[in-house]
Amino acid sequence: MKHEAVIVQCPRCKSRNRIPASRTGEQARCGTCHGPITSPGVFHRPVEVTDAGFKDDVLAYPGAVLVDFWAPWCGPCRTVTPILDQLAEAYAGKIKIAKINVDENPQTASRFSIRSIPTLLFFKDGTLVNSLTGARSRQELERYIQSVI
Ligand SMILES: [Zn+2]
């Protein structure tokens, strides 16, 4: 088994839960606070990832992930943000959209040689399959998403 479990953060208490890959798509409950947690594979909003969580949240994720490398001071990033919010809803269950703040997470930015932002990396089953730099239209981003899902 390549991917036996995925890690999903509880939206209420922020604790990290291991979900067996065989239960992907089912309703799950947080092991700490027992609140409902969104099953892996069905994210309606972009999720924040960090240097510490990148391995579990992106590289170990069984499916397609779009990672937006951004920073609060970056003007073009603010153009992309609302588009990614819309795409997360439109493609919920098909692709996980993640955001990583490069100022707070320099290790991951360095690892992928991010030199300008926004940079969007597309992963499929933990493998980097495509990348885009600079603000893009929703139509263009959708073409890239459709090529990885
Ligand atoms: Zn919880």
Q: State which residues form the domain around 119.
A: 43-148
100 and 81, same domain (yes or no): yes
Considering the domain architecture, whether residues 26 and 60 belong to the same structural domain is answered as no
Longest dimension (CA), the chain: 43
Q: Which two tokens stand for residue 24?
A: 């992907």
Domain with residue 62: its CATH number is 3.40.30.10
What tens digit of pLDDT does each residue of 62-110 get?
789 999 999 999 999 999 999 999 999 999 888 999 999 999 999 999 9
Number of neighbouring beta carbons within 10 Å of residue 19: 19
pLDDT at 72: 95
pLDDT for 9: 80
Closest CA to 31 of 12, 56, 44, 59: 12
Closest by CA to 66, choosing from 109, 92, 97, 93, is 97
Q: Are residues 78 and 122 in the same domain?
A: yes
33 counts as catalytic: no
Asked if residue 147 has pLDDT above 90, the reply is yes
Residues 13 and 78 in one domain: no
Could you tell me if 58 and 94 lie in one domain?
A: yes
Q: What is the pTM of this model?
A: 0.75
Q: What is the mean pLDDT of residues 100-129?
A: 96
pLDDT at 7 over 90: no
CB 7 within 8 A of CB 57: yes
Residue 80 has a pLDDT of: 96
Same domain, 66 and 103: yes
Cα(29) to centroid(ligand 1), Å: 8
Q: How many CB atoms lie within 10 A of CB 94?
A: 16
Same domain membership, residue 57 and residue 30:
no
**Same-domain check for residues 60 and 31:** no
Average pLDDT over residues 117-142: 96
Q: How confident is the model at residue 20 (pLDDT cuts 50, 70, 90)?
A: confident
Gyration radius (Cα) of the chain, Å: 15
13 is catalytic: no
Are residue 137 and residue 78 in the same domain, yes or no? Answer: yes
CA of 44 to the centre of ligand 1 (A): 18
The overall average pLDDT reported for the chain is 89
Task: Indicate whether 19 and 57 sit together in one domain.
Answer: no
Quick one: pLDDT band at residue 48, thresholds 50, 70, 90? very high
Centre of ligand 1 to C-alpha 12, Å, is: 5
Residues 83 and 139 placed together within one structural domain of the fold: yes
